[in-house]
Amino acid sequence: MRIKWFSLVRITGLLLVLLYHFFKTSFPGGFIGVDVFFTFSGYLITALMIDEYTRSKAFDFLGYLKRRFYRIVPPLVLMVLLTIPFTFLVRNDFRAGIGGQMAAALGFTTNLYEIFTGSSYESQFIPHLFVHTWSLAIEVHFYLIWGLIIWLLSKRDYSKTQFRGLIFLISAVFFGIGFVSMFARAFFTSNFSLLYFSTLSHSFPFYLGAMFATTSGIVETTARFKKNVRLWSAKRAVLYMAGSFALLLLLTFVLDFNQLLTYLFGFALSSLFASTMIYAARVLHEKTENVSEPKWISFLADTSYGVYLFHWPFYVIFSQITNNLIAVFLTLVFSYLFTSLSFYIVEPLLVGKKPSLLGLSIDFDRFKKPFGIIMGILAALALVTAALAPKMGSFEESLLVNSLNQADTNITQTNNVTAGDATALSSILIIGDSVTLRSSTAFASDMSEATLDAAVSRNFTEAYDIFKNHIDNGTLPSTVVIAVGVNSTSNYEEATKQFVDALPDGHRLVFVSPYNSKNLDAVKAVRDYEADLASEYSYVTLADWYTAAIDNPDIWAGTDGVHYSDATTTGAELYVKTVQDAVTAAAKKNAKGS
């Protein structure tokens, strides 16, 4: 039984995810689209389980697993195989460690893989092509755990009402455990990706959906639901759906991945709004018996899972070789093309059905053999690529080397000071991200007096923690350079102002403006605000890397638009000179409180 208007819930989840990935600075909270999917999956699966038990007084666990397998695995395998040839359009860094990523995706452990490799969900300059399958991993974990629990319950001779009530109670307990886990752990971590990827902490939307399923249902509905169907008008149901959608959309503007409130309330609110939308859609189905769901809406809903799978690796690849709008266009074209192939042809063939597209039968028999040969070739290519791919890309390798060099330089400076050579270490601290780290050799050569503290994917929050620690310990140098910003453009005003407010008297502050050629509007906003701070406060100076980067386009050839080319030393020298000139200018100004 297909419930009309559930399609709009699926489309909403996909839309929010696509807006987040394609236009992240405009929709910084669009990652909650995944929670819409989670909530809907929990609702739909649970409602179908209740229907099966009500109908037969049993639950076929093996049949349930088989249905989940045929729906989940074929598009996933197809996505992995079809992605690999496209990886040869971009540099080798994107194939580094691809074997481990493939194994994690196909083994439904991507969330654990990302946790154990220390990856950040938002800050990956060489993004993992299959990182988005973290959500699929958590979903499969839910399917296995929940299916086993329902199967065990079905072994007892419960009445329909008792069975539904027990599912509600168990769902409520699991929801509480997950929500409390995310809420409590959020206060004790500086890496929110650990919570985001966690099956324990991030599975509670499934159970909220399950709770709503017990209050309504698909075929077997409750008396309360039937009463609401009588009491609600179609207009009221539409208003609830539209209102829920509007609130979800609002969250995409106000939530931020690295904000504490997102983990305390953001995911819970998004799941609640999604649940309300689902319930209203279920009511609207009953109120619109004589209305058919438009085919284009059904198409977008039916292909939502496949498009979610395909869009991310294609967007990462295409965004490396063209501008964002063209990358978005190409991503959507290829995603819908391959998803249609999967949903309307491959998946029906695997379960013994005749392929059809929007009601039109497709004769695919004569293409079976060529298709099988192509799949075999793609599988062989994937295996060879995984076997030959480097464990670490050249970009990561260079950062690792620079990180080790940075540590050696800082140790040498400390030892020299201890030995009495006070001139070896001046009063300058540079707190930076991977761009700064990439420049560590140039800093050691041209600004050997400075202490460098740089790390990959560092954002304003992490930089501030280091800054504040120096203040608390009384070790803050006279001049502090803050060289971050690319990884935290959505909350830059509050993030940058906190450095100014906390800076002790007698110290100077230098902000290095961020640069990202693929996100110019966002980094320019950060740059302009930092320039305003420099104009307002005499002890704040701007090292305008953003302007220097735009004025020197040659240093960006063949790069990701954030890290200058290392084919020559020009980029590193320019970066260090930009910082050095700003530090020199800051020294001519009064310190704070002077």
What is the DSSP code string of 13-34?
Answer: HHHHHHHHHHSTTT-TTGGGHH
Q: What is the reported pLDDT for 411?
A: 45
**CA gap 453, 402 in Å, rounded:** 11
For 509, list phi and psi in degrees, rounded to 5. -125, 135
What's this model's pTM, rounded to 2 decimal places? 0.81
The packing angle between helices 61-86 and 368-388, to 10°, is: 70
**Cα angle, residue 220 at apex, residues 219 and 222 outer, rounded to 5°:** 130
**CA gap 212, 361 in Å, rounded:** 37
**CA gap 413, 421 in Å, rounded:** 9
**Mean pLDDT (whole number) for 129-143:** 96
pLDDT for 522 beyond 90 = no
C-beta contacts of 472-478 below 8 A and 24+ residues apart:
476/429, 476/504, 476/507, 477/426, 477/427, 477/428, 477/429, 477/451, 477/507, 478/427, 478/428, 478/506, 478/507, 478/508, 478/591
- CB-based contact 244:274 (threshold 8 Å): yes
Return the number of other C-beta atoms located less than 10 Å from residue 416's C-beta: 14
| Residue written as token pair 């074209």 | 333
Q: What is the reported pLDDT for 410?
A: 52
pLDDT for 124 beyond 90 = no
pLDDT for 339 beyond 60 = yes
Q: Which residue blocks in 474-587 are alpha helix, DSSP H?
A: 492-502, 520-536, 545-551, 570-587
277-315: b or e for each residue (b if 16 or more CB lie within 10 Å)?
A: bbbbbbbbbbbeeeeebeeeeebbbbbbbbbbbbbbbbb
How is residue 198 annotated by DSSP? -
**Mean pLDDT (whole number) for 458-468:** 89
- CB-based contact 582:541 (threshold 8 Å): yes
pLDDT for 502 beyond 80 = yes
Per-residue pLDDT reduced to its tens digit, 10-64: 999 999 999 999 998 889 899 999 999 999 999 999 999 999 999 999 999 999 9
| Residue written as token pair 């307990």 | 173
Q: What is the reported pLDDT for 182?
A: 97
Q: What is the reported pLDDT for 325?
A: 93
Distances from the Cα of 139 to the Cα of 33, 68, 198, 311, 421, angstroms: 14, 11, 11, 18, 59
- CB-based contact 74:346 (threshold 8 Å): yes
The pLDDT confidence band at residue 91, using thresholds 50, 70 and 90, is confident
Q: Which residue blocks in 474-519 are alpha helix, DSSP H?
A: 492-502
Tokens representing residue 448 in the block:
């050997």
SS3 47: helix
Distances from the Cα of 332 to the Cα of 42, 95, 319, 337, angstroms: 27, 22, 13, 8
Q: What is the reported pLDDT for 391?
A: 76
Per-residue pLDDT reduced to its tens digit, 400-410: 555 555 555 55
Q: Chain-wide mean pLDDT for the chain? A: 89
Among 336-345, 393-402, 541-550, which stretch is predicted with the lowest mean pLDDT? 393-402
Q: What is the reported pLDDT for 413?
A: 44
Q: Which residues sit opposite 428 in a β-bridge?
A: 479
**CA gap 518, 560 in Å, rounded:** 8
- CB-based contact 306:335 (threshold 8 Å): yes
Q: What is the reported pLDDT for 404?
A: 55
Percent of the chain with pLDDT over 70: 92
C-beta contacts of 223-227 below 8 A and 24+ residues apart:
225/282, 225/283
**Mean pLDDT (whole number) for 445-465:** 85
**Cα angle, residue 30 at apex, residues 26 and 31 outer, rounded to 5°:** 140
Tokens representing residue 529 in the block:
């605000």
The packing angle between helices 267-287 and 234-254, to 10°, is: 160
- CB-based contact 282:216 (threshold 8 Å): yes
**CA gap 592, 507 in Å, rounded:** 6
**CA gap 135, 38 in Å, rounded:** 8
Tokens representing residue 174 in the block:
């699991």
**Mean pLDDT (whole number) for 326-346:** 95
Delimit the CATH 3.40.50.1110 region(s) of the chain.
394-587
SS3 221: coil
CATH of 394-587, one of 3.40.50.1110, 3.40.50.10210, 3.40.190.10, 3.10.450.50: 3.40.50.1110
Q: What is the reported pLDDT for 367?
A: 81
- CB-based contact 315:331 (threshold 8 Å): yes
Q: For residue 298, how far is the Cα from the chain centroid? A: 26
**CA gap 478, 429 in Å, rounded:** 8
Per-residue pLDDT reduced to its tens digit, 149-179: 999 999 998 999 999 999 999 999 999 999 9
Q: Which residues contact 384 (CB under 8 A, 6 or more apart)?
A: none
Among 89-93, 102-106, 242-246, 535-539, which stretch is predicted with the lowest mean pLDDT? 89-93
Per-residue pLDDT reduced to its tens digit, 250-309: 999 999 888 899 999 999 999 999 999 999 999 999 999 889 999 999 999 999 999 999
pLDDT for 369 beyond 60 = yes
pLDDT for 425 beyond 70 = no
CA dihedral 381, 393, 432, 475 (to 10 degrees): 130
N-terminal to C-terminal alpha carbon distance within the chain: 75
The pLDDT confidence band at residue 399, using thresholds 50, 70 and 90, is low
Q: Which residue blocks in 255-346 are alpha helix, DSSP H?
A: 260-261, 267-287, 295-302, 304-321, 324-341
Q: What is the reported pLDDT for 117?
A: 82
